[in-house]
Structure 1
Amino acid sequence: MERKHYLDQLRAFLMFLGIPYHAGMIYSANIDWIVFSVETSFILTWVFQFTHTFRMPAFMIISGFFAMLMIGKQGEGVWLKSRFIRLSVPLISVALLVNPWQMLAGAIADHGLPNAWQDWLARLSSPGGHWIEQLWFLGDLLIYSSLLALGWRYGGRLRLGRVSDRVLDLIGRDWKSAALALILAGSGVVGAATIGSMLDVNILFSGMVQSIRTVAFAPFFVLGAALAYRPDWLERFTTIHLPSWCAAAVACLILTLVEPRGEPVSKAASYFLTPIAGILSAHVLLCVARRWFNRSTDLTRKMVEASMVVYLFHMMFVCWFGLAFTYVEWPVLVEFVAIVVAAMVASFCVHAVVSRSETLKFLFNGVIRGGRSGGPSLTPRLQGGR
């Protein structure tokens, strides 16, 4: 069957987009990141806050699509085992071997080189989100994959197939039903965040697990699975619809404005808009990718192959290059471009080394000797029962 190259290429592009996104955070006017500059940039702050509204939602939708496709071909047991190896091995490897150097850069940024060592040792000896950082999505994908495998295995006994078909029939009936589903998804995230706050479970394990984020991104993974479950949905979702594009632009703009604000009303609006803006903008991205990027070339194949390792390592380089530029006084945009280019080149160099070692490919790509690192071939419909 014909491979849908645009999904591979869009997924790689979204991972590469993490480099300018994290480099832009160094100059953010809204937050103090791992490494931060005293010089901030209004342009970088809002441009990359805007990209935050669509980058990971689209990535999660593509991940859900591949997940449903492959579980239907391989069965839940074989597929889940391969998912755990592919996701958990790089998660653990980068957390233990790479992220400590990000912590050191952060310690130097906070306290200066002479006083950084004590703070670095404190970070190394304590649990927290600093061990995860850019890896959070791997943990969430492990959760979603486990739930999908459980649903696939026990769905027949619980009649989940019939229920799913009826729900999907209702959602796909017309644009009004789809709009209502978006509103319900946003309301569900707000409700989950409210309940999580009341039960004090939004932040767990010293920040290593953020349950509200896991809930907020779940609709994207579910939609991706639905696009594979209903092949006609993928056709409709990747067909240009200008009113939806306009709605996506408005939703992403509003989310960009309200997300950094800390008051309860803004937080509620942010939770509500996250699935709406994410799904609508993913529709735009997949349409564009299908229309103009559905052809494989040597360059795109290399980018797809390198995307995982580049993403896993890029933030360490962004932190250290960003730290170096805090000691010079170049124009902000010049520094930003230099950090992005340097981090990109350094990350590709790491990929070149990793690709030549079976051990390193296992540690940082979860690829067992003889396995493939590319995405699965895509077929127009699932094999396996509903």
Structure 2
Amino acid sequence: MRFTNKNYPMKSEGFLPAERVYALDALRGIMMLLGLVIHAGLTYGQTDYQTIWPLKDPNNSMLFDLIVSYIHAFRMPVFFVVAGYFAALLFYRKGPNTMLLNRFKRILLPFLAAVLSVYPLVFMAFTFSAASFASVKNPFGEAWNILVTGKFLPFNVVHLWFLYFLAMYTVVGWLPAKIFQKSTAFTMTFKKAFTYILQNAWLRIFCMATLIFGCLSWMGTTFILTNAAWKIDPSTFVIYLVFFE
């Protein structure tokens, strides 16, 4: 299917895939399975991740830290790249308004529902496991106490931060789309510059590396952090936005 919508000049060239890209579905599945590996490694590694992952088995090894670092370097960026691809696909096929409505139904609503349903279970599981590692006589009682005292209330988004970010990235992508729609000249200029970068392999690598280096320098770390709190960390937000866009 050729891009033909005159409201979006960036669609005037190229083709949309006629069928579902199953390779990307497989890629997402692999990244999800690696999530099991990385979270097990957090428990059995020697690094103290504090509130990010409070569970720590006394029988640990540096090998798990190396595995965690290796997988974390690409796992979440891959998720955001794939999510950005499908968001762009929806945008080009249906337009920005339909994309916004679709993301509201498929990302924001499930996110809010999960905050109220999944979060308490995750909090209980953490409490139960921590109590078990600490040899508490009644670990389930400790976990149940979390519910009856109201401590399960979602004061952060834990592992739902991915959906939290995607919901905001959708809005971030929708706003420029409206600007591009009204300014054909600006859109074409942006398209030419972006296409030139993409077609030059070394320039593409340089620009991407520069953006990532800048974000990591902003973070003050060589490790891409995650954002489990409701309050957004700007550097974390920007670096994953680079992969999404």
TM-score normalised according to structure 1 size: 0.49
Please give the alpha-carbon distance, in whole angstroms, between the structure 2 residues aligned to 1:180 and 1:151.
24
The aligned residue for residue 6 of structure 2 is none
Please give the alpha-carbon distance, in whole angstroms, between the structure 1 residues aligned to 2:181 and 2:214.
26
What letter corresponds to residue 4 of structure 1 in structure 2?
A: V
The aligned residue for residue 85 of structure 1 is 105
Q: Is 1:99 aligned with 2:122?
A: no
Aligned-CA RMSD value: 2.8
Please give the alpha-carbon distance, in whole angstroms, between the structure 1 residues aligned to 2:235 and 2:151.
24
The aligned residue for residue 165 of structure 1 is 191
What letter corresponds to residue 141 of structure 1 in structure 2?
A: L
8 Å contact from structure 1 (residues 28, 41) kept in 2: yes
Q: Is 1:60 aligned with 2:80?
A: yes
CA deviation digits over 1:228-248, x for unaligned, max 9? xxxxxxxxxxxxxxxxxxxxx
Secondary structure (helix, strand or coil) at the match of 1:94 reads helix
Q: State the shift of 1:39 in Å.
A: 1.6
Instruction: Map residues 8-87 of structure 1 onto 2, 5 A cutoff.
Output: 8-32=25-49, 33-87=53-107
| Bigger relative CO (Cα 8 Å, ≥ 6 apart) | 1
Counterpart pick for 2:202 among 129, 152, 176: 176
Please give the alpha-carbon distance, in whole angstroms, between the structure 2 residues aligned to 1:31 and 1:182.
31
8 Å contact from structure 1 (residues 128, 208) kept in 2: no
Please give the alpha-carbon distance, in whole angstroms, between the structure 1 residues aligned to 2:175 and 2:244.
15
The gaps in structure 1 that reach 5 residues or longer are: 195-201, 223-386
8 Å contact from structure 2 (residues 127, 143) kept in 1: yes
Please give the alpha-carbon distance, in whole angstroms, between the structure 1 residues aligned to 2:118 and 2:88.
31
Flag the 1:155–1:48 CA change in 2: closer, same or farther, 3 A: same
Please give the alpha-carbon distance, in whole angstroms, between the structure 2 residues aligned to 1:35 and 1:205.
16
What letter corresponds to residue 244 of structure 2 in structure 1?
A: F
Secondary structure (helix, strand or coil) at the match of 2:236 reads helix
Flag the 1:24–1:191 CA change in 2: closer, same or farther, 3 A: closer
The aligned residue for residue 166 of structure 2 is 141
8 Å contact from structure 1 (residues 128, 205) kept in 2: no
What letter corresponds to residue 214 of structure 1 in structure 2?
A: F
What letter corresponds to residue 114 of structure 2 in structure 1?
A: V
Flag the 1:206–1:109 CA change in 2: closer, same or farther, 3 A: same
Q: State the shift of 1:186 in Å.
A: 2.2
8 Å contact from structure 2 (residues 161, 227) kept in 1: no
Once superposed, which parts of structure 1, at least 4 consecutive aligned residues long, lie more than 6 Å away?
A: 202-205
Flag the 1:191–1:49 CA change in 2: closer, same or farther, 3 A: closer
Q: State the shift of 1:40 in Å.
A: 1.2
The percent identity for this pair of structures is 24
Instruction: Map residues 296-335 of structure 1 onto 2, 5 A cutoff.
Output: none
8 Å contact from structure 1 (residues 171, 177) kept in 2: yes
The gaps in structure 2 that reach 5 residues or longer are: 1-17
8 Å contact from structure 2 (residues 158, 229) kept in 1: no
TM-score normalised according to structure 2 size: 0.74
Q: State the shift of 1:61 in Å.
A: 0.8
What letter corresponds to residue 209 of structure 2 in structure 1?
A: I
Between structures 1 and 2, the one with greater helix share: 1
The aligned residue for residue 236 of structure 1 is none
Q: State the shift of 1:115 in Å.
A: 5.1
